[in-house]
Amino acid sequence: MQTRHKIGILGATGVIGQRFIQLLEAHPWFEIAWLAASDKSSGKTYGEAVKWKLDTQLPSRIASMMVSPATPEGAPGVIFAALDTDIARELEPKFAAAGCAVISNSSAFRMQADVPLVVPEVNASHLGLLETQAWRKQSGGYIVTNPNCSAIGLVLALKPLADRFGLESVFVSTMQAVSGAGYPGVASLDILGNVVPYIKGEEEKLEAETLKLLGKLSGSRVEPLNARVSAHCNRVPVEDGHTESVSIKLKAKATRDDILAAWSEFAPLAGYTLPTAPAQPVEFAAAEDRPQPRLDRMRGKGMGATVGRLRPCSLFDWKFTVLSHNTIRGGAGAAVLNGEFLAALGKLVAHDHVAVSA
Ligand SMILES: NC(=O)c1ccc[n+]([C@@H]2O[C@H](COP(=O)([O-])OP(=O)(O)OC[C@H]3O[C@@H](n4cnc5c(N)ncnc54)[C@H](OP(=O)(O)O)[C@@H]3O)[C@@H](O)[C@H]2O)c1
């Protein structure tokens, strides 16, 4: 790629916004040109506005950038968005209407019929929905979303099995990291030495998003996968990395070797050279006590899903554990991969700055 796309980050000061900065600052295809957050941050330098929580240094170029108001005026044509859902519902359409490609982390539009909910390894064809969006027709802008942080590891593990053997039922119980709740997130007195068996709206999202992601694009709509998913979601005192215990019933018989082969041979992006795509999207950890969040969340630079503990299930057919990094694979990294895939398809908005009439 000859030139780098100038990009902006909406919600740049939050947990996912900080990951965007970490993943994009030295990105070969994208250049961070604009940062925005709430009124309490705009008008400050990013270094003044942010409570930087990552274990890499805040880049000095970024620290000295001004935080802009969260409006499309002067924003670049490609926006990576990490806003709270209610704010996203209000602001993302304004950017799409102004001609921006909005690559969103929020749940606000994930289940809207004309908005693609995409993991490139799983359902890249759903990006066809972009062309049906009114924003796309009127201004060239659009909204594309990535799933909830607990859905992404699950669908990466399920997709190769759904393709080869068909999927009838999925039972999943999650152990989700505290960073999944944003910053400052869950109060320390609520989570230290504890498990909270409730995350508002999470079970519904995990169930519905999994079926949309594994569904088929049919004309201008996605037919969700005809399978049953039941989810239990728990918050646990882990910093990063969502672990999920999964039981599955398949349509066709599959041996342990068949399942291991389906996972290891899963390489749907092999024909592309996307900087953030992991070489092995689903990696099997053979040790009997893996995957574990502290030890396995950074596989594939945080973009891999690690599966393990594959064994027969006495209720369904098979059960296993899957782990993925919630703020990388499940958040900023997922959106960056969507951005790279859109760039490879030539679907990123061409102009660097949008002009907006008052
Ligand atoms: N954390 C995860 O693991 C994860 C994973 C996948 C998806 N997500 C989703 O990603 C989104 C962001 O999550 P997060 O964890 O990064 O949340 P967060 O840490 O609470 O950050 C929220 C961001 O939104 C900004 N913001 C708040 N009100 C605003 C307003 N009125 N106008 C403009 N900006 C505003 C905040 O700016 P200020 O600092 O100025 O307040 C901050 O930059 C959410 O929709 C979440 O569900 C999160």
From the CB of 16, is ligand 1 less than 6 Å away?
yes
| pLDDT for the residue numbered 349 | 67
Q: Are strands 67-68 and 78-81 parallel, antiparallel or unpaired?
A: unpaired
Sign, CA torsion 281/287/293/296: negative
pTM of the predicted structure, to 2 decimals: 0.96
From the CB of 183, is ligand 1 less than 6 Å away?
yes
Distance CA(248)–CA(263), nearest Å, equals 15
Residues of the chain short of pLDDT 70, as ranges, are: 1-2, 349-358
Rg (CA), the chain: 20
SS3 call for 287: coil
Residue nearest (by alpha carbon) to ligand 1 atom 39:
13
| Peptide bond connecting 59 to the previous residue in cis, omega within 30 degrees of 0 | no
Q: Annotated active-site positions, please?
A: 149, 242
Give 350 Cα–ligand 1 centroid separation in angstroms.
Answer: 27
From the CB of 87, is ligand 1 less than 6 Å away?
yes
Identity of the amino acid at 50: V
| pLDDT for the residue numbered 352 | 46
Residue nearest (by alpha carbon) to ligand 1 atom 6:
331
Distance CA(193)–CA(53), nearest Å, equals 22
Nearest residue to 200 (alpha-carbon basis) of 183, 184, 180, 214: 180
The stretches of the chain forming alpha helices (DSSP H) are 15-24, 46-49, 60-63, 85-97, 120-123, 134-139, 149-165, 188-191, 202-213, 256-264, 293-296, 333-344
At 186, list the tokens: 């869950």
Nearest residue to 135 (alpha-carbon basis) of 100, 89, 86: 100
- Can you say how many angstroms the Cα of residue 199 is from the centroid of all Cα atoms in its chain? 18
Compute, in degrees rounded to 10, the torsion defined by CA atoms 23, 328, 179, 161. Answer: 180
Q: To test ligand 1's pocket by mutation, which of 39, 40, 52, 83 has the most ligand atoms within 8 angstroms of CB?
A: 83
Q: To test ligand 1's pocket by mutation, which of 39, 53, 105, 336 has the most ligand atoms within 8 angstroms of CB?
A: 105
Give 106 Cα–ligand 1 centroid separation in angstroms.
Answer: 8
Give yes or no for a contact between 282 and 157, defined as CB atoms under 8 angstroms apart. yes
| pLDDT for the residue numbered 3 | 80
| pLDDT for the residue numbered 358 | 31
